[in-house]
Amino acid sequence: MKKYIFAALILLAVTACGDDKNRDLSYPRISTADIEASPTNCHEYRRGEVIKFNYMFYDDTELGMFNIEVHNNFDHHSHSTSSTECTMDPNKEPVKPWVFNQGYNIPSGRTEYNAKVDIPIPTDIDTGDYHFMVRLTDMAGWQQLQAFSIKIVE
C-alpha cells in the first residue's frame, strides 16, 4: 500500500509542475519605435486641446489591455520612468485638478498593437504639472508602466 501512495505522490508532483515552455513569463513592452510617440516627457498642452496618444505595444504571447491615467503633480511626487527632468511650477493646492482614468481592451490574439486614443483636455481645469501614466497588461497578467510629466497651460 505504501508503494502505491508513494507512486501517486510522485505522479502528482510531476504533473503539477506543468510545462514552463508554454507559460508566459515575460513582461509586455511599450515602445516608441517607428512611430511619432505622444505624449512625451515634459510636453506642454493647452486647456481645450487634445492629447493624441500614440504608442506601440508588444508581447511575446498575447496582449490584454491598457490603461491611461492623468492626475495632478502639484505636490511634485514622482512616478516618472524617464531620466529627463522637467521644469516644475511651484507647489500648489489643487482647486479643480484634472483626473482621467480609462481602460482599453486590445483585440484578442494580438502580439503587437498600435494604440491611438484622442484625449480631450477639459477647458476648466487647474493648469500646472500633471502625470500621464500608461499601464500595459498582457493576458498572463504581466504589466509594464510608462509614466511622463506633462504640463497643462492656459
Dihedral angle over CA of 147, 111, 115, 134, nearest 10: -20
Given a cut of 60, whether residue 2 has pLDDT beyond it is no
pLDDT of residue 59: 98
Strand order of the β-sheet with 29-31 is 29-31, 50-58, 112-120
The residue length of the chain stands at 154
pLDDT of residue 24: 87
Dihedral angle over CA of 37, 42, 48, 54, nearest 10: 10
pLDDT of residue 102: 98
Considering the segment(s) 24-153 as one domain, its CATH architecture is: Sandwich (2.60)
pLDDT of residue 84: 78
Given a cut of 60, whether residue 81 has pLDDT beyond it is yes
Given a cut of 50, whether residue 9 has pLDDT beyond it is no
Q: What is the pLDDT of residues 84-94, one digit of tens each?
A: 789 999 999 99
Q: Where is mean pLDDT largest: 34-38, 77-81, 116-120?
A: 116-120
Mean pLDDT of the chain: 89
Mean pLDDT value across residues 121-135? 97
Q: How confident is the model at residue 26 (pLDDT cuts 50, 70, 90)?
A: very high
Given a cut of 80, whether residue 6 has pLDDT beyond it is no
Domain chopping of the chain, boundaries: 24-153
